[in-house]
Amino acid sequence: MRRFAFLLTLCLPLLSQSASAALVEGLYQVREPVTSQQPAERDAALRRALQDLVVRLTGDTNAAQNATLSESVKNPQQLITQYSFDAGPPAVLVVNFDPVSVNRALTQAGLPIWGANRPSVMVWWLNDSDGGSALVGDSQPAAAPLQRAAQDSGLPLVLPLADLSEQLVGTAENIDSGKPDALSEASKRYNSDVLLAVHARQSGGSWQAQWRMWQGSNSAQGTAQGADPDALASTIMQELSTRLAKQFITKPGSTQALTLVVDNANFERYSQLQKLLEPMGARLLKAENGQLRYQLTANPDQLHAQLGLANLEQSSAPVDANAPVAAPAAPSASQSPASAQQVLYYRWH
């Protein structure tokens, strides 16, 4: 294995290209608010923690009501490796779940699983309160509710530094404009996948917000409200997570055996691609002259979405008759190109 890795290093061009997708840290750890450390409160919090984890892993707010999961939800201890109390504030029960056991339970229940490799979300969040307007920066106290909500929803969060130049960009005019141009330009330095703009306002004892999201050619917008900044951020991040999950989660029964051929690779890109394809049981068949060839099981549409996170674009099959991989069969009129192909071709651009 070491010799193969060494040879692979030699045969791949020494170029550099970073993927913007991020691996979510602590995906199977849940921090559940509690009011005490009493056994009854603890047991209730453990059940809520599993329900929250199921939503985080499936992107479905109703998944925890799955009948097959009912026994696990009632008695989640069998899926837990350890738990502890954190006095806070806020006081929480920190629960670490066993990934293998949880994934097995979800699979047996026929539920999809969203892996740890997820699109990074760049957030421009403007708060209007009695103290005035303020752009939320990464190191500010006001960032804590956003960071907690992103962790709860399983989203890799990116916040601006909120220096002087970014404060001139993160204005109400740009955030409310409905156009991502100014924010997108200022976000290039962060190399994120999704752009989220939020204008939050404190009204009396509660908070309200209007949000807009852009991801490539996709966009969405909505409103949210919450009793406090934590509740507001949680509502928005969960809505965003649900929308993104529909693009990146592979539904049970929708997968098929595929051969993936990727061109213009180097060692760094190979390492990134290995992590991205790991949940699909990918097996590297060949690595030669910057080309990688894999065998895996996946849904072609979901695979396409995942590869987009690594800055890969779909390409045509080789036209050379001596090419190492045969060209795929032409799709029928009723099939899309992705679903009709058994061999898929991609390249880094």
Kindly report, residue by residue over 160-192, the tens digit of the pLDDT. 999 999 999 999 999 999 999 999 999 999 989
> What does pTM read for this prediction?
0.74
Beta-strand pair 121-129/194-203: parallel
Cis geometry, peptide bond prior to residue 89 (ω within 30 degrees of 0) = yes
Q: Which residues contact 70 (CB under 8 A, 6 or more apart)?
A: none
* Model confidence band, residue 130 (pLDDT cutoffs 50, 70, 90): confident
In the predicted structure, residue 251 carries a pLDDT above the cut 50: yes
Could you give the percent of the chain with pLDDT greater than 70?
85
β-bridge mates for residue 134, sequence order? 127
Tokens of 333: 């009129």
Q: Which residues contact 79 (CB under 8 A, 6 or more apart)?
A: 50, 72, 97, 98, 101, 102, 105
> What CATH number labels 119-248?
3.40.50
Residue in this structure with the two tokens 């204008």, named with its chain if needed: 199
Tokens of 145: 């509710």
- CATH 3.30.70 applies to domain 251-348: yes
- For residues 67 and 76, what is the distance between their CA atoms, to the nearest angstrom? 15
Would you list the domain boundaries of the chain? 22-108, 119-248, 251-348
**Nearest CA among 255, 301, 297 for reference residue 278:** 297
**H helices present in 284-328, as ranges:** 300-309
